[in-house]
Amino acid sequence: MALKFEVLGKFNRARAARLTLPHFICQTPLFMPVGTQGTIKGLTNNQLEEIGCQIILGNTYHLALRPGAELIDDLGGLHKFMNWKRALLTDSGGFQMVSLLHLADITEQGVTFQSPVDGKPMLLTPEESIQIQNKIGADIIMALDDVVKTTITGPRIEEAMYRTLRWIDRCIAAHKRPDAQNLFGIVQGGLDPVLRDICVRGLVDRNLPGYAIGGLAGGEDKDSFWRVVAQCTAALPEDKPRYVMGVGYPLDIVVCSALGADMYDCVYPTRTARFGTALVPEGVLRLKNQAMANDERPIDSTCTCMVCRNYTRAYLHCLVTKDAMGSQLVSYHNLSYMMRLSKDLHTSLVEGQFPEFVRGFLRAQFPKGNVPEWVCNAMEVAGVDISTCCAPITS
């Protein structure tokens, strides 16, 4: 095990922790920007450090295609290759294949796919995924799992869950650098509580350095989503990090943190920036909107980021979706927003102000008191009283 997880503050299930990884000491809850090719589109490493980014997610599939795991290894690993001194996490590559390539097929051996380079059939096995990730050298590496959409029902969900458990043993056996890289297992099982339970127990038995909750953020309804998170966080060990994959929106992160999750990743803040949408305490600000054309205010007057200190909404209105600089500046602000949200969650837990923070967040997002029902249900299970944020029911 190459990590240390120390809880510094708690409120019921929610926790703030110090996560010591080989390359960096992180504070949780934390958000990981997704750097497909080892870069966050349009942002420099210095800028990422400046906004408080602690860990970046690299996509193994993309890195293995270009520049290739061998080359990264020869050049001293991904940290050195991209000159990033803080923490890195790589995914297994399986999800990218299944989601990007129509011709991917999953068998007991691994994920078969057609090479996008020369069209030849290729196979990614659990062993190979780990070998590639060992070469890339990230602080956290992910097990290859059998991914199915949560909206699928029937025996395929059960098959995928049991296969994920069989594959974790192949991943553990293949992992050559457990003293320098932390292998996380991924809980699968769709929306079925019985299958999720079998998978959590199976993974916990393997005593891994950390655990991820997978197979979510795939179009399931929000009530099903938070219930899976709540079930898994309750069953996972207290002294290991819990990572909800592919999540999410700021509201999802606040809810999952209340339920005891620690780590998140999502392309949303940078993807939405490219369409001119900025994240603000009230929700989102659409910079393309005509009302922004002569608005001299910054994106968010409570934000101290470089973009909010220097540029007006009117200026950004001109740039977004037309000039690369537009999406870079909005990405910078949006990631700053996510980093500030993570930090505020951490601080509020350490200082014993977590319920107050959650209520303040919800009041800003839902000033009319129209907090979605799934949020109310989740907060009840999390033991966070948000009654003062919700409008009285009038019927």
Contact status: 148 vs Zn ion (CB under 5 A): no
Q: Which of residues 111-130 bind Zn ion (CB under 5 A)?
A: none
DSSP per residue over 53-116, as a string? Answer: --EEEE-HHHHHHTT-HHHHHHTT-HHHHHT--SEEEE--SHHHHHHH-TT-EE-SS-EEEE-T
Beta bridge partners of 211: 185, 242
Smallest gap from residue 301 Cβ to Zn ion (A): 9
The reply to whether 331 sits in an annotated binding site is: no
Which residue of 135, 333, 340, 346 would you call a contact of Zn ion, by CB under 5 A? 333
User: Residues 19, 308, 341, 389: which binds Zn ion (CB under 5 A)?
Assistant: 308
Site size toward Zn ion, by CB under 5 A: 5
Closer CB to Zn ion, residue 309 or residue 368?
309
Verify binding: residue 285, Zn ion, rule CB under 5 A. Answer: no
What CA–CA distance (Å, rounded) separates 10 from 215? 27
Q: Please tell me whether 214 is known to bind a ligand.
A: no
91 flagged as catalytic:
yes
The β-bridge partners of 187 are 213
305 is in an annotated binding site: yes
> Per rule CB under 5 A, is residue 141 in the interface with Zn ion?
no
Instruction: Please give the Cα distance from 382 to 234 (Å, whole number).
Output: 10
- Least gap, CB of 311 to Zn ion (angstroms): 9
Q: Are strands 263-265 and 277-280 parallel, antiparallel or unpaired?
A: unpaired
Q: Provide the minimum distance between the beta carbon of 305 and Zn ion in the complex, in angstroms, as a whole number.
A: 3
The distance of closest approach from Cβ of residue 279 to Zn ion in the complex, given in angstroms and rounded to an integer, is 9
Residue whose CB is less far from Zn ion, 250 or 260? 250
Among 303, 335, 338, 358, binds Zn ion (CB under 5 A): 303
Residue 95 labelled as part of a binding site? yes
Q: How far is the CB of 51 from Zn ion (least distance, A)?
A: 9
Quote the tokens at residue 239.
């002294």
Which span sits near Zn ion by CB under 5 A: 24-32, 50-58, 177-185, 299-307? 299-307
Interaction residues for Zn ion, span 167-196 (CB under 5 A): none
Q: What share of the chain is helix, strand, coil (3-state, %, to 5)?
A: 45, 15, 40
- The answer to whether residue 169 is catalytic is no
Q: Which of 91, 252, 262, 300 is catalytic?
A: 91
Least separation in angstroms between residue 46's CB and Zn ion is: 17
93 annotated as ligand-binding: yes
92 marked ligand binding residue: yes
Name the catalytic one among 139, 146, 262, 265. Answer: 265
β-pair partners for 27? 18
- Residue 305 makes contact with Zn ion by CB under 5 A: yes
15 token code pair:
């926790």
Q: Which of 185, 172, 159 is nearest to 127 (CA)?
A: 172
Segment near Zn ion (CB under 5 A), from 103-111, 245-253, 305-313, 372-380?
305-313
Q: Does 378 bind Zn ion (CB under 5 A)?
A: no
User: Quick one: tokens of 203?
Assistant: 């993974």
Distance in angstroms (rounded) separating the CA atoms of residues 271 and 334 = 10
Residue 265 CB, shortest distance to Zn ion, in Å, is: 21
- DSSP of 150-194, one letter per residue? TT--SHHHHHHHHHHHHHHHHHHHH---TTTSEEEEEE--TT-HH
**81 appears as a binding residue in the annotation:** no
Are 138 and 90 in contact by the 8 Å Cβ rule? The answer is: yes
The secondary element (H helix, E strand) that includes residue 200 is helix 193-205
Cβ atoms of residues 127 and 150 within 8 Å? no
Phi, psi of 8 (to 5 degrees): -105, -20
316 is a contact residue toward Zn ion (CB under 5 A): no
91 is in an annotated binding site: yes
Position 132 contacts Zn ion (CB under 5 A): no
Residue 154 annotated as lining a ligand binding site:
no
CB under 8 Å to 387, separation ≥6 — which residues? none
The helix (run of H) or strand (run of E) holding residue 354 is: helix 354-365
> Which active-site residues does the annotation give?
91, 265
- Residues comprising the binding site for substrate? 91-95, 145, 188, 215
- Residues comprising the binding site? 91-95, 145, 188, 215, 303, 305, 308, 333
- Residues comprising the binding site for Zn(2+)? 303, 305, 308, 333
Query: Which positions touch Zn ion (CB under 5 A)?
Result: 303, 305, 307-308, 333
